[in-house]
Amino acid sequence: MKKRAALAVLLLAAGLAALPLGGCEFMLKREFYTSAPHSLQHGGTDISEGNVIKNYYALKDAILNTVYAGKTDETFRLNEYGGDMEKDIENIIADIMKSDPICAYAVSSINFEPVKILSLQEATLSITYKRGMEEVDKIEQAVNTNEFEQKMALKMAQYQKNSCIYIINYFDYTYDAYTRILSSYYGEDGASVGLESINLAFYPESGVKRIIETDVRYINSDMVLSRKREIIKEEASRIASQIFLEQQIEETGGNDGAVARVLYDWVIDNIEYDSDAQSAAEEAKGRQIKTDEYTAYGAFAYKKAAGEGIALAYQALCKAAGLDAYIVIGEDLNGNTSVWSLVNIEGEYYHIDAGEGIKSKVSGNDLERDAFFAISDEQMQKTKLWDVKYYTASDTMSYEERRSEEAAATENV
């Protein structure tokens, strides 16, 4: 900062050397605007020392780059400015405090003092910050919401609690950042544990560019969380191996569909549905603390879990068995948050809801049990809703229907 200030003074002094001294002495005591690049530099007009600000856009760029440089005060020289300087500065300040992510995130207030001498106008800005430049320098960038999710997935896997990400292209106004971060928490291996809360702040609250500040809390230490994850993976691998040793796969042909089915049946036959925990989750709109009842750890260790824990247990088994699967976050027809699996079987994706399958066990109706195994989007939408743009489209029919169709086609050959 001191080097930039010294450079500005030296350049100013050189420029004034050719001017008459009378009437200009006051200028020698001022530091004039010079741009100072920041890692999140505004991409507008490049204004450097010696260039005179002559229009609204150049003035806006100058103010923004002063903020990005972390300066607390700055003086701008406007010569033959084509507008109402005071009104324009007021409008610019109001605009950038509402629309610019860095200003919304880091700045408390911007004030200015105008001075006019003949055709020369000056404005001295005073900027108060609520964040230091060291905090601004830690902000990461993401080109779009997809890259934001990728970054968050890595952070969640490492139990990183705080982050701040500048999304350059935030054009999806229906984007649900909380749900997408929750999806990052679930990951792909079903070994998610211990989430206490996800708190988000947006700077600004709307707009095509935003900073999202996240504060993620866990109920256990990193060491305990890591150990629970290891236990989930170990137990899922043991159970899958046990199923293979019992030759259930070989008896049905050993394909992905057979693997997905025996894992589904194992979950239904060995895990009890925790109705009390499920009710608590519904009351919390899916934002309850993720204690053991809502994890694969609880499902494997206590053989009892809420729908979320059951879905994660099935997900962990799929991962251990080599199936491509991931968690879907949606809701039932009553608006209660619900999660289940989307599984790749022989090149097509199908919905598998082991939690609903367990509930059907009470009735003893095999048709109800089968109703939630490897079904299509259309069939799943009879009981669940989800944001389809975030998930791979399923096959147009259930897996069993697909098999029947292929068998019929083979017979006709």
Q: Tell me the pLDDT tens digit for each residue of 259-314.
A: 999 999 999 999 999 999 999 999 999 999 999 999 999 999 999 999 999 999 99
List, in order of start, the domains of the chain with CATH numbers.
Answer: 2-132 (no CATH), 136-218 (3.30.110), 222-412 (3.10.620)
Tokens for 231, please give them.
């236990």
**In terms of DSSP bridges, do strands 304-305 and 272-273 run parallel, antiparallel, or are they unpaired?**
parallel
Mean pLDDT of 177-193: 92
- The three state secondary structure string of the chain is CHHHHHHHHHHHHHHHCCCCCCCCHHHHHCCECCCCCCCCCCCCCCCCCCCCECCHHHHHHHHHHHHHCCCCEEEEEEECCCCCHHHHHHHHHHHHHHHCHHHHHHEEEEEEEEEEECCEEEEEEEEEECCCHHHHHCCEEEEEHHHHHHHHHHHHHCCCCEEEEEEEECCCCCCCHHHHHHHHHHCCCCCCCCEEEEEEEEECCCCCCEEEEEEEEECCCHHHHHHHHHHHHHHHHHHHHHHHHCCHHHHCCCCHHHHHHHHHHHHHHHCEECHHHHHHHHHCCCCCCCCHHHCHHHHHHHCEECHHHHHHHHHHHHHHCCCCEEEEEEEECCCCEEEEEEEEECCEEEEECHHHHHHHHCCCCHHHHHCCCCECHHHHCCCEEECHHHCCCCCCCCHHHHHHHHHHHHHHC
pLDDT digits (tens, 9 = 90+) for 187-209: 889 999 999 999 999 999 999 99
What region, left, alpha or beta, does residue 336 occupy, with left being phi > 0 and alpha being psi -120 to 50 degrees? beta
**Rounded Cα gap, residues 296 and 191, in angstroms:** 6
The percentage of the chain sitting over the pLDDT mark of 70, rounded to a whole number, equals 83
- Assess contact for 296 and 191: CB atoms under 8 A: yes
- Assess contact for 284 and 195: CB atoms under 8 A: no
- Give the pLDDT band of residue 333 (cuts 50, 70, 90): very high
Mean pLDDT of 101-129: 91
- Give the pLDDT band of residue 366 (cuts 50, 70, 90): low
Position 281 scores a pLDDT of: 95
Q: Which residue has the higher pLDDT, 49 or 111?
A: 111
φ, ψ at 280 (rounded to 5°): -65, -40
| pLDDT > 90? residue 163 | yes
Position 364 scores a pLDDT of: 66
| pLDDT > 50? residue 28 | no
Position 259 scores a pLDDT of: 92
| pLDDT > 60? residue 388 | yes
**Rounded Cα gap, residues 206 and 278, in angstroms:** 34
pLDDT digits (tens, 9 = 90+) for 215-271: 999 999 999 999 999 999 999 999 999 987 775 565 445 589 999 999 999 999 999
φ, ψ at 367 (rounded to 5°): -65, -40
pLDDT digits (tens, 9 = 90+) for 118-161: 767 889 999 999 998 899 999 999 999 999 999 999 999 899 99
Burial of 158 (0-12, 13-18, 19+ CB in 10 A): exposed
Position 41 scores a pLDDT of: 46
**In terms of DSSP bridges, do strands 384-386 and 162-169 run parallel, antiparallel, or are they unpaired?**
unpaired
φ, ψ at 62 (rounded to 5°): -65, -45
In the block, tokens 């679930």 appear at 186
Sign of the dihedral through C-alpha 14, 20, 26, 32: negative
Position 363 scores a pLDDT of: 66
pLDDT digits (tens, 9 = 90+) for 36-45: 333 444 444 4
- Assess contact for 168 and 143: CB atoms under 8 A: yes
Residues 6+ apart with CB under 8 A from 66: 33, 74, 125, 127
Which residue in 311, 314, 315, 308 sits closest to 281, CA to CA?
A: 308
Position 23 scores a pLDDT of: 33
Position 63 scores a pLDDT of: 95
Mean pLDDT of 363-372: 77
Position 413 scores a pLDDT of: 59
- Give me the chain's average pLDDT, please: 84
- Assess contact for 196 and 182: CB atoms under 8 A: no
**Rounded Cα gap, residues 356 and 369, in angstroms:** 8
- Kindly report whether the peptide bond that precedes residue 204 is cis, defined as omega within 30 degrees of 0: yes
Q: Which residue has the higher pLDDT, 115 or 368?
A: 115
- For residue 247, what are the β-bridge partners? none
